């Protein structure tokens, strides 16, 4: 069979509705695509599936967002990433990753979601949801590169599912002339509040902390604090949200008083988390403290033989440890030979030194 990996001596006939692929990669984010390039360059003909669009997490970034990483550090497969400035925008990154997928001739099935996977003696069988139903795929190897961005930390409050409430900040322009409540106090909430204010929204920022955390970027903090001091952005620090209705957000303020804030739009930017449920369904062991999947650091293989993890999914609860610039070599660890693995490790070690880890 074309592309059949070494070690899979014969192809076991499956039921008609199971398609066999030598390598399945779940997640067409930067790291899933990098893994696919590494596999393809070893003649393995991988199939990449994504629950959303190609690079769906980046597609969900706010319009016009600028990366904090310089463009060359977002490169995969050695394809040069040329952006107008030193740091790319969301739109440039989407164009780049589309271009790479096309240049490499990668097979990518978008809007195809991995729901579960089970190890059989000779293969890994996957249950997959497609737009109009579900199907089954089987592979000799499965790489999970599904990130964390699909799993927002929900508030668990009445009204959270209303259509004007979102866990993703999309476009500040949409807030023009509106009362907008931003829930959260970290970078994404700070950035959203500032952008919405500049796009002509009446913004109230609600944060449960009594002050903004030290991790707020040094160029955002003074801007935000000055806008709050000037009364241009309203802030309720030390406040708890109690409920959301179609036109208000209920809070209990730091002084214990209840208040209802007008809200035409609500952005609940309270972070994201790893899909531990997917690990559980597949049987992947996880470190209890860090939430990181237990893996062979050389090959990123989990305790389930043939199932690997890559990219930000490897970070468990330490989401800020793995991002594009240091996850993009994971494909070489999984599919490369000893030399390419060592090279990937070296580049990664160099990066870690540069970022002071
Ligand atoms: C606003 C913002 C700015 C950022 N800026 C930077 C930056 O400047 N530099 C940097 O290095 N990092 C940055 N990051 C982090 C970066 O986006 C992530 O580290 C990166 O996207 C991780 O890549 P990944 O391929 O591991 O996961 P993702 O990019 O999250 O890709 C995962 C893919 O898997 C798909 N998926 C999820 N579940 C399933 C499933 N069950 N079946 C099939 N597909 C599934 C998703 O649709 C998605 O396309 C930023 C993040 C945000 C939110």
Residue 226: which region, alpha, beta or left (left: phi > 0; alpha: psi -120 to 50)? alpha
Does ligand 1 have an atom closer than 6 angstroms to the CB of 114?
yes
Does ligand 1 have an atom closer than 6 angstroms to the CB of 50?
yes
Question: From the alpha carbon of 26, which atom of ligand 1 is closest?
Answer: 43
Please tell me the distance between residue 27's alpha carbon and the centre of ligand 1 in angstroms. Answer: 9
**177 — phi, psi (to 5°)?**
70, 10
Please tell me the distance between residue 41's alpha carbon and the centre of ligand 1 in angstroms. Answer: 23
Please tell me the distance between residue 310's alpha carbon and the centre of ligand 1 in angstroms. Answer: 11
Q: What is the band of 342 on the pLDDT scale with cuts at 50, 70, 90? A: confident
Of all protein residues, whose CA lies closest to atom 1 belonging to ligand 1?
Answer: 61
Question: From the alpha carbon of 62, which atom of ligand 1 is closest?
Answer: 1
pLDDT for 82 equals 97
Does ligand 1 have an atom closer than 6 angstroms to the CB of 224?
no
Q: For residue 341, what are the CA distances in angstroms to 80, 208, 348?
A: 21, 44, 10
Question: From the alpha carbon of 27, which atom of ligand 1 is closest?
Answer: 34
- DSSP single-letter state for residue 31: H
Of all protein residues, whose CA lies closest to atom 4 belonging to ligand 1?
Answer: 67
Please tell me the distance between residue 121's alpha carbon and the centre of ligand 1 in angstroms. Answer: 32
Above 90 in pLDDT, residue 344? no
| Domain range annotation of the chain | 18-151+272-354, 165-268
Write down the mean pLDDT value for the chain: 92
Does ligand 1 have an atom closer than 6 angstroms to the CB of 68?
yes
Question: From the alpha carbon of 310, which atom of ligand 1 is closest?
Answer: 26
pTM: 0.92
- Please check whether residue 33 is in contact with residue 97, taking contact to mean a CB–CB distance below 8 angstroms: yes
The mean per-residue pLDDT over the stretch 87-91 comes to: 98
pLDDT in tens, 267-321: 999 999 999 999 999 999 999 999 999 999 999 999 999 999 999 999 999 998 9
Query: Which helix (DSSP H) or strand (DSSP E) does residue 100 occupy?
Result: helix 90-104
Closest by CA position to 315, among listed 285, 348, 293:
293
H helix count then E strand count, the chain = 9, 17
Q: What is the band of 349 on the pLDDT scale with cuts at 50, 70, 90? A: low
Q: How far is CA 173 from the centre of its chain?
A: 24
Please tell me the distance between residue 298's alpha carbon and the centre of ligand 1 in angstroms. Answer: 22
Residues 280 and 322: their CA atoms lie apart, in Å, by 21
Three-class SS state of 277: helix
Does ligand 1 have an atom closer than 6 angstroms to the CB of 309?
no
Does ligand 1 have an atom closer than 6 angstroms to the CB of 327?
yes
pLDDT in tens, 223-272: 999 999 999 999 999 999 999 999 999 999 999 999 999 999 999 999 99
Q: What is the band of 2 on the pLDDT scale with cuts at 50, 70, 90? A: very low
Report the DSSP pairing between strands 124-130 and 202-207. unpaired
Does ligand 1 have an atom closer than 6 angstroms to the CB of 109?
no
Q: For residue 314, what are the CA distances in angstroms to 51, 147, 264?
A: 19, 8, 37
Does ligand 1 have an atom closer than 6 angstroms to the CB of 76?
no
Residues 168 and 188: their CA atoms lie apart, in Å, by 9
Q: H helices of the chain, where?
A: 30-40, 56-59, 90-104, 187-198, 221-229, 276-282, 324-327, 330-335, 338-354
Please tell me the distance between residue 314's alpha carbon and the centre of ligand 1 in angstroms. Answer: 12
Please tell me the distance between residue 35's alpha carbon and the centre of ligand 1 in angstroms. Answer: 14
Question: From the alpha carbon of 31, which atom of ligand 1 is closest?
Answer: 25
Above 60 in pLDDT, residue 10? no
Query: Which helix (DSSP H) or strand (DSSP E) does residue 204 occupy?
Result: strand 202-207
pLDDT in tens, 161-189: 999 999 999 999 999 999 999 999 999 99
The correct answer on CATH 3.50.50.60 for the domain covering 165-268 is: yes
Q: Which CATH architecture has domain 18-151+272-354?
A: 3-Layer(bba) Sandwich (3.50)
Pocket test for ligand 1, best of 29, 106, 143 (most atoms within 8 A of CB): 29
């Amino acid at each position: 069979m074309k592309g059949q990996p070494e070690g899979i001596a014969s192809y076991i006939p499956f039921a008609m509705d199971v398609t066999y692929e030598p390598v399945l990669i779940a997640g067409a984010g930067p790291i899933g695509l990098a893994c696919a390039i590494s596999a393809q360059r070893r003649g393995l003909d991988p199939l990449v599936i994504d629950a959303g669009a190609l690079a769906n997490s980046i597609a969900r970034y706010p319009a016009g967002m600028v990366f904090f990483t310089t463009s060359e550090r977002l490169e995969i497969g050695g394809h040069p990433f040329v952006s107008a400035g030193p740091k790319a925008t969301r739109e440039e990154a989407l164009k780049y990753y589309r271009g790479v997928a096309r240049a490499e001739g990668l097979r990518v099935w978008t809007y195809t979601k991995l729901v579960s996977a089970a190890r059989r003696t000779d293969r890994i069988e996957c249950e997959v949801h497609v737009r109009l139903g579900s199907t089954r795929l089987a592979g000799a190897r499965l790489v999970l590169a599904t990130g964390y961005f699909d799993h927002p930390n929900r508030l668990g409050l009445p009204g959270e599912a209303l259509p004007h409430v979102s866990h993703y900040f999309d476009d500040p322009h949409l807030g023009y002339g509106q009362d907008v409540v931003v829930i959260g106090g970290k970078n994404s909430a700070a950035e959203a509040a500032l952008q919405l204010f500049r796009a002509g929204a009446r913004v109230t920022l609600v944060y449960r902390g009594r002050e903004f955390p030290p991790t707020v970027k040094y160029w955002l903090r003074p801007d935000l604090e000055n806008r709050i001091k000037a009364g241009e952005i309203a802030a309720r620090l030390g406040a708890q949200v109690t409920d959301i209705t179609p036109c208000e957000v209920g809070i209990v303020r730091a002084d214990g008083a209840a208040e209802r804030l007008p809200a035409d739009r609500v952005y609940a930017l309270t972070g994201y988390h790893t899909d531990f449920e997917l690990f559980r369904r597949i049987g992947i062991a996880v470190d209890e403290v860090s939430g990181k999947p237990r893996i062979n650091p050389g090959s990123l293989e989990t305790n389930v033989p043939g199932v690997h993890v890559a990219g930000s999914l490897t970070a468990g609860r330490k989401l800020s440890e793995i991002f594009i610039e240091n996850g993009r070599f994971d494909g070489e660890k999984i599919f490369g030979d000893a030399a390419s693995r060592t090279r990937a490790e070296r580049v990664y070690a160099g990066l870690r030194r540069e970022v002071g880890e």
